[in-house]
Amino acid sequence: MLKKYKPFLRAGAMDTMAYRFNILVWAVITVCQVACLVFLWLAVYRSSEGGIDAVIHGFTYREMISYVVLTTVFGFVTFNNDTLWNINTDIKKGTIGNYLIKPISYRGKFAATSLGSLLMMTLMFGVPLYTAALAVLGSLGFLPDLTFPAFFAHLALFLLSGLCASLLNDTIAYIFGVLCFYTSSGWGLNSLKETLVAFLSGTLLPLAFFPAGLREAVSIMPFAGMSQNPILILMMKYDLAESLRAVALTAAWIVALELFAKLLFSHAIRKVTVQGG
Amino acid sequence: MRYVHLYFTCIKRSMISRLEYKKDTIVALFSFFFSNLCSLAAIYFILQSIPALAGYSLAEVGFFYGFSMLPISLDHLFSDEFWLVAYRRVQNGDMDMHFLRPVPVMFQVFAETFQPEGFGEMILGVALIIVCASNLTVTVSFGSIAVLTVGAVFGAVIITSFKVALSALAFIFKRSGPLLQIIYNFSNYAKYPLAIYPAVIRMLLIFVLPFGLFISLPVDTLLHGTHDPWLLCLAIILCAAVFFALAVRIWTFCERRYESTGS
């Protein structure tokens, strides 16, 4: 049943291998961005009433810097699918027709490709980058002391929540991709999706900084599971019960949004206008 | 005069081809406002939890952010095509046609696109400046207005010069987009007061990648009178002249070494 998706899994992994140069450029850009954020947060804590060692919304400056570094690595390893762009290209070039007549699900193809990409990214970059980040941050005393059995439980839950985050990200990218059927072009939708996710997932700023009403609203939305929750699980800011609850919420959202995506696709496919390149 | 006419003819054509994706343009415009709103909300939420950022109040930090959008949007209006040259157009052989026409290639690239999105950015920047300024007590002098205007206009010239020079490298290396992206992204640093950075970064942002020179220093001069406005005007104009002259030299140098990829 699942065997026919294996070529796509492999293609996702191979594509990722082929773009090592882009990844180097990404690294330079990212280091500059992270540095900017670190300077900003240091200035924020230095300017706070309690001075540099203040705790702001439950974060010390050490935890905040760890949070910034880890969400960046997490985003790089986890969010690397081209689902939206590929759907957009399929619409523009008319290749969508090829998939509609093949005996595989259009949705399944993308899920498999991004899963393949996730596996390759995790092995090639995730393992060394997380290890390096945790080692450096840990030795600087930026992370809590790792008490070992507990840390492994958190690590396992972190990997699980990372998988959920990647799947959820792919689902959302797919939904926005299907919306391209209606707008005929993906630029606007892509930037809307990126902004929405960056803000509501806590990548830009931990949700603890949001005003109470907004924070509670966002905490039941799917987005926190895509960035903030996995990182707080890894940093052991969530205890095991909270961690499990966060993963369960994300899993429930994946199911709900997949159902929505199915409905949306069956409506959108009737709208399809092939532009023929 | 001929070139002015030619420019408007080309721009008209590019606007017509853009109208093809009307819905997407609307979504893009909306998402642009939304994305800036999110960044501003993030800054607002952070500053809610502290009295002031390195001595700058919320309104002052907002002023920096708003003013940074002016030179960036001016550049955005006129020179967006250079991104495509740097990323794709040399690589896929799309530049050949420009070399066959009896008009300078650089002019043709400028005339290829006009990005009305830049106006959205500019309106948002001006709106933010007005909102923040009305919450501040600043003594507006002729000098500070001059330095802000010079910063915005000649700052745009400096940004465009970076784009021209770095996209020209694609004529030799086929693809220079990533390098351009790295340099361009440093403009994000100038959205905050220079005071939050260590001395090395401050020097870098004034003397090497001068985003701080034409964004942060003029705003500082308005808010706190840190610099002589006329001297700063002179420095910015000189810097823009040097960068632009260098960019044109680099462009002509690289253009002569252009080889079609033939694809």
Residue B24 in any domain: the answer is yes
Distance from CA of B72 to the nearest CA of A (A): 18
**In this model, does residue A249 exceed pLDDT 90?**
yes
**In this model, does residue A275 exceed pLDDT 70?**
no
Please state whether the predicted TM-score (pTM) of the whole model is above 0.90: no
**Closest residue, chain A, to B50 (C-alpha):** A48
Select from A19, A30, A36, A275 the residue whose CB has the most chain B CBs within 10 Å, as the one to mutate to test that interface.
A36
Residue B13 in any domain: the answer is yes
Residue B25 in any domain: the answer is yes
Q: Which residues of B172-202 are buried (b: 16+ CB within 10 A; e: fewer)?
A: eeebbbbbbbbbbbbbbbbbbbbebbeeebb
Which residue segment(s) compose the domain that A214 sits in?
3-271
Q: Which residues of A touch B83 (CB under 8 A)?
A: none
Nearby residues of B33 by Cβ (< 8 Å), 6 or more positions away: B120, B124
Q: Which residues in chain B (191-250) have CB-CB distances under 8 A to chain A?
A: 192, 195-198, 201
Q: Does A218 touch chain B (CB under 8 A)?
A: no
Distance from CA of A22 to the nearest CA of B (A): 8
Q: Does B49 touch chain A (CB under 8 A)?
A: yes
Q: Are A207 and A228 a contacting pair, CB within 8 Å?
A: yes
CA distance A50 to A57: 13
Q: Which residues of B touch A184 (CB under 8 A)?
A: 21, 23-24
Q: Does B31 touch chain A (CB under 8 A)?
A: yes
Distance from CA of B189 to the nearest CA of A (A): 6
Residue B172 in any domain: the answer is yes
Q: Report pLDDT for A53.
A: 86
ipTM of this predicted complex?
0.82
Any idea which of A29-38, A73-82, A244-253 has the lowest mean pLDDT? A73-82
**In this model, does residue A27 exceed pLDDT 90?**
no
**Closest residue, chain A, to B189 (C-alpha):** A36
Residue A182 in any domain: the answer is yes
Residue A178 in any domain: the answer is yes
DSSP three-state, residue A263? helix
CA distance B87 to B14: 19
Q: Do B27 and A189 touch (CB under 8 A)?
A: yes
Q: Do A192 and B34 touch (CB under 8 A)?
A: yes
Residue B30 in any domain: the answer is yes
Q: Does A29 touch chain B (CB under 8 A)?
A: yes
Q: Which residues of A touch B198 (CB under 8 A)?
A: 39
Q: Do A185 and B34 touch (CB under 8 A)?
A: no
CA distance A55 to B88: 47
Residue B261 in any domain: the answer is no
Largest CA distance in chain A: 64
Residue B35 in any domain: the answer is yes
Nearby residues of A219 by Cβ (< 8 Å), 6 or more positions away: A207
pLDDT in tens, chain B (263 residues): 788 888 888 888 888 877 766 777 788 788 888 888 898 899 899 888 888 888 899 999 999 999 999 999 999 888 888 888 888 888 777 888 888 888 888 888 888 888 877 888 899 999 999 999 888 887 788 888 899 999 999 999 999 999 999 999 888 887 788 888 888 888 888 889 999 999 999 999 999 999 999 999 999 998 888 888 899 999 999 999 999 999 999 999 988 888 777 65
Which of B48, B72, B68 is closest to B58 using CA atoms?
B48
Which residue segment(s) compose the domain that B61 sits in?
2-256
Report the residue from B29, B34, B185 with minimal CB separation from A32: B185
- Cα distances from A131 to residues A34, A127, A135, B185, in angstroms, run 18, 6, 6, 28
Q: Does A23 touch chain B (CB under 8 A)?
A: no
Q: Does A34 touch chain B (CB under 8 A)?
A: no
Q: Are B91 and B174 a contacting pair, CB within 8 Å?
A: yes
CA distance B59 to B62: 5
Report the residue from A48, A185, A191 with minimal CB separation from B35: A191
Residue B142 in any domain: the answer is yes
Provide the pLDDT confidence category of residue A18 given band limits of 50, 70 and 90.
low
Residue A146 in any domain: the answer is yes
Residue A183 in any domain: the answer is yes
Q: Do A188 and B196 touch (CB under 8 A)?
A: no
Q: Are A61 and A41 a contacting pair, CB within 8 Å?
A: yes
Which of B210, B216, B175 is closest to B194 using CA atoms?
B216
CA distance A110 to B146: 54
Cβ atoms within 10 Å, residue A139: 9
Q: Which residues of A touch B24 (CB under 8 A)?
A: 183-189
Residue A67 in any domain: the answer is yes
Q: Report pLDDT for A19.
A: 63
Number of structural domains, chain B? 1
Q: Provide mean pLDDT across the span A176-196.
A: 84
Task: Give the rounded percent of residues in chain A with a pLDDT score beyond 90.
Answer: 39
Q: Report pLDDT for A16.
A: 66
CA distance B95 to B106: 11
Residue A276 in any domain: the answer is no
Q: Which residues of B touch A211 (CB under 8 A)?
A: 45, 48
Q: Do A46 and B54 touch (CB under 8 A)?
A: yes
Q: Does A185 touch chain B (CB under 8 A)?
A: yes
Q: Provide long-range contacts, Cβ within 8 A and 24+ apart, for A220-224.
A: A220/A249, A222/A168, A222/A172, A222/A249, A222/A250, A222/A253, A222/A254, A222/A257, A223/A196, A223/A197, A224/A200
Q: Provide mean pLDDT across the span A10-37.
A: 77
Q: Which residues of A touch B179 (CB under 8 A)?
A: 25
Nearby residues of A104 by Cβ (< 8 Å), 6 or more positions away: A4, A5
Number of structural domains, chain A? 1
